[in-house]
Amino acid sequence: MSSTVSIGGPSPAIDRLPVGGLLALAMAGFITIMTEVMPAGLLPQMGGSLGVSDAVAGQLVTTYAAGSLVTAIPLMTLTQSLPRRLLLLIAIIGFAALNAVTAMSSSLSVTLVARFLAGACGGLVWALLTGYAARMAPSRLAGRAIALTGIGAPLAFSLGVPAGTFIGTLIGWRLAFGLMSVVALLLAGWILAVLPDFAGRRGDQRLALRPILTLPGIRPILAVMGLFVVAHNLLYTYIAPFLVLSGLAERVDVVLLCFGLAGLAGLWVVGALIDRRLRLMVLGNLVLFGACAVALGLWSTSPVVVLAVTAVWGMVAGGIPTLFQTASVQAAGEAADVAQALFVTVWNSAVAVAGLAGGALLGSLGATVLPWAMACLLALAWLTAWLARSSSFPKPPAI
């Protein structure tokens, strides 16, 4: 199996980005994130309606993540023969149906099952989006296409989730989830109208997981990405108790808004440079993120420094996932879909590890230690990326 297969569109006559199709893919990412995290802003309403505490209601988010973690690799492996557009439509229509079930359910058990299955749909979407975007675009613009597709996630975090929380508080959480079902159905129509279809693999074309893991470059990319995600979520998950140190605990919403808006700027920068400077941007962003961690460790009691550094951190966090996704698509070639399922699994595993490790550090040593733990992980990530200069994060060819 070769890892040098072109990931972009094969026709030299098409030398521009298919913006309409890429925005449809971005909207799929937006709906995925909204479905995943909207309960976090509506826990009191959902818990009261279902007759459970906020802590129990919080498992609605955990169950979704578990659905993505457990099913992403098996589902992508088993569905390789299906046409890619059909598989994406199944996942989007699944969101519509499962959000409707969530909206109508009065049983915690039924709601948890719906959330788990929605997580499985989310794992499918994330596994499909990057490879789909790369195949739609000319080869030289594949990274930019992936960046445009990736805009759905930071938009959901910075604007969608606060808006969903406001709407859910205003008209009720059930109607908010019902509205998400309607949006998913509209997106399904958009996908049918603008996305090209790509055939699945049949017979001896089907790809096994182990050979993909042995492709040059895949494991270092997953290792660097996993270290980054653990470092990021060590603090992001526990940002509220960390902000107590600087007196910003009552302004978590403002801090996260700055983080999200800066993330959009970071993604724009990545989209502009990724096809020419991928390696430089990976190494540079890891250095910048490490500097943010050190600054937060040194000046954790200064509200001005914390707010400014959080904005820089947001720029890094907004763009660097696209760098990892593009690197993995380039390394995997024709195996991009299954490689992205690995990406989804490692990402969600790292989120879970960060939650457990961050909670343990917070409980035993306090919030001040979190930035320093981040800095150590990021130093290891940078060293791994720097050493992986042949096939994972290669140097650009000499012109």
Give me the domain span that covers residue 39.
19-205
Task: State which of 170, 205, 240 marks the end of a domain.
Answer: 205
Name the residue among 242, 244, 248, 280 with its Cα closest to residue 374.
242
Write out the chain's pLDDT in tens, 399 residues.
Answer: 333 333 444 443 456 788 889 999 999 999 998 888 788 667 778 888 888 876 677 778 778 888 888 888 788 878 877 888 999 999 999 999 999 999 999 999 999 999 999 999 998 898 888 778 878 888 777 777 877 887 787 777 667 767 777 788 788 889 999 999 999 999 999 999 999 888 776 655 555 556 666 666 778 888 898 999 889 888 887 777 888 898 887 777 677 778 878 888 887 887 777 767 878 888 998 999 999 999 999 998 999 999 999 999 988 888 888 788 777 777 766 666 667 777 777 887 887 788 778 878 888 888 899 999 999 999 999 999 888 776 666 665 544
- Identify whether 5 is part of a domain: no
9 is a domain residue:
no
Question: C-alpha distances in angstroms, 58 versus 55, 63, 64, 69, 108?
Answer: 5, 9, 11, 17, 12
Q: CA-CA distance, 393 to 350, in Å (whole number)?
A: 21
Residue 240: exposure state from Cβ atoms within 10 A (0-12, 13-18, ≥19): middle
Does residue 7 lie within any of the structural domains? no
- Of the residues 158, 183, 205, the one at which a domain ends: 205
Provide the number of structural domains found in the chain: 2
Euclidean distance between CA atoms 233 and 292, whole angstroms: 14
Asked if residue 153 and residue 40 are part of one domain, the reply reads: yes
Is residue 136 domain-shared with residue 250, that is, in the same domain? Answer: no
If you write DSSP's letter for every residue of 325-344 in order, what string do you get? HHHHHHHHGGGHHHHHHHHH
Q: CATH number of the domain that 71 lies in?
A: 1.20.1250.20
Burial track 321-335 (b if 16+ CB lie within 10 A, e otherwise): bbbbbbbbbbbbbbb
Same domain, 131 and 235: no
Q: Are residues 336 and 319 in the same domain?
A: yes
Nearest C-alpha neighbor of 3 from the set 272, 271, 219, 229? 219
Tell me if 372 is assigned to some domain. Answer: yes
> Which one of 162, 190, 205 terminates a domain?
205
Specify if 394 maps to a domain.
no
Residue 119 domain-assigned?
yes
Residue 199 lies in a domain: yes
In a domain, 4, yes or no: no
Round to whole Å and give the CA distance between 111 and 100: 10
Measured between alpha carbons, how far apart are the two ends of the chain, in Å? 28
